[in-house]
Amino acid sequence: MKFTIGTARLQAMLNKAIRGAGCNKLIRMTSLIAIKLKDGVLTLTTTDATNYMSVIERDVVGDVFYVAVQADILQKLVSRFTCGEVTLEVTDKVLEVVGNGKYQIEIELDDDGNPIRLPNPIESFTKDNKIGETTSQSILTALTSIKPALATTMDFPWYTCYFVSDSITGTDTWTVADCSQGFLKEPKLISAVIMDLLGLFSGHIDVYAKDDKILFEAENGIVYGAIPPGIEYYSIDDIKRLVEQSFERSCKVVKSDMYNLLDRVSLFMSGYDDDKVTLTFGEDGLTVSSKYATETIAYTDSENADEFICQTDINTLMTIVKAQTGGEFTIEFGEENALKLIDGDITSVVALLTEE
């Protein structure tokens, strides 16, 4: 079994595939990469024992080929090659890798001494229930603007996931981010791990579901995994009410100016501040202040911008401001519970702190 491929093509494939390998020393298959060539289609598959990812490259010439080896050593070796092509060949229970030199990587064997085949539920999944379609651009928007709002602890595990229907929503119960460009016909939770893997692919993506499993298929790759439980506990109706809450006052600011201002003020936050920052909305500008710092940013536009004073967590606000994708964004204010940030299809809600 043998084939040759351009080094740059193989490097690009391996750099993606390694992201799907869990590399858990207690679970052997999470450290492996399966290399398969059939009918000119080269597929590299990795897993974290829950999710599976296949990276696909077409028009590869060679023998019918299958081998499973340590993912980490192969990726590191090929990433260091400067030659134009790489040849992979299976000989006497080793994978021979010929590039700048000749290297041998042991093929993984089972207890009987036979080559291991990595379990691959992608191959047996039946795609008879298409529940949506999306694009790599929509996935990148979610990763940029929705991911920062996801919970990072497992207190309420469903909030570590994206809620996807005809919109994409994320929340940690303190902040909310919502994108109106969803892609599923029926609501599902999608894990942060799967969404991160989808960000590696390009172009059109079809989505299929069966029981508690979900599969995303792009031209150059497939991601398969479990649909997280807990959607019934996700307070989507309450969250949507926050997103749709109306505010009578608004202003528009330049993203870079706002973020840089907050960054400067954060340098002067003391332990007594508890990361609490005061926002004073005036007629012409927004003043941000802590005990030892005060700075004002001018609006580029405003509507009914009467004075309004509130407090919020500066680190949370910085994270959400950084996640805005445009050069400018709108802040809606005037209610005691929250601020709303609007940037195109993305709406973010930041909770306000109450006076003690």
Task: Categorize the per-residue pLDDT at 320 as very low, low, confident or very high, splitting at 50, 70 and 90.
Answer: very high
The encoded tokens of residue 112 equal: 């009987």
Q: What's the pLDDT at 243?
A: 96
The CA-CA-CA angle for residues 194, 173, 133, to 5°, reads 30
Contact (Cβ atoms closer than 8 angstroms) between residue 2 and residue 9: no
Closest CA to 271 of 291, 288, 287: 291
* pLDDT higher than 60, residue 308: yes
Cα dihedral 170, 175, 181, 187 sign: positive
More confident position, 29 or 271: 29
pLDDT band (50, 70, 90) for residue 354: confident
Instruction: Please state, for a pLDDT cut of 90, what percent of the chain lies above it.
Output: 93
Report the percentage of the chain scoring pLDDT > 70: 99
- pLDDT at site 113: 85
pLDDT exceeds cutoff 80 at 82: yes
**What are residue 309's DSSP bridge partners?**
280
Token readout for 111 is 């207890």
| Ordered structural domains, the chain, with CATH | 2-106 (3.10.150.10), 130-241 (3.10.150.10), 245-351 (3.10.150.10)
CA–CA gap between residue 135 and residue 203 (Å, rounded): 6
Q: How far lies 212's CA from each of 168, 188, 190, 224, in Å?
A: 19, 10, 11, 11
Helix, strand or coil, per DSSP, at residue 28: helix
Prediction pTM value: 0.93
Q: Span 324-336, mean pLDDT? A: 96
Other beta carbons within 10 angstroms of residue 131's beta carbon come to: 18
Structure tokens at 275: 């990361």
For residue 248, CA distances in Å to 195, 252, 306, 308, 320 come to 35, 14, 10, 12, 21
Virtual torsion, Cα 227, 68, 1, 9, nearest 10 deg = 60
Residue 355 pLDDT exceeds 70: no
The token pair at 344 is 């195109």
Beta-bridge partners for 217: 206, 222
* The pLDDT value given to residue 184: 97
Confidence of residue 136 (pLDDT cuts 50, 70, 90): very high
Cα distance between residue 209 and residue 179, in whole Å = 22
Q: Would you place residue 356 in the very low, low, confident or very high pLDDT band (cuts 50, 70, 90)?
A: low
The model's pLDDT over 177-234, given as tens digits with 9 standing for 90+, comes to 999 999 999 999 999 999 999 999 999 999 999 999 999 999 999 999 999 999 999 9
Question: What value does the mean pLDDT of the chain take?
Answer: 95
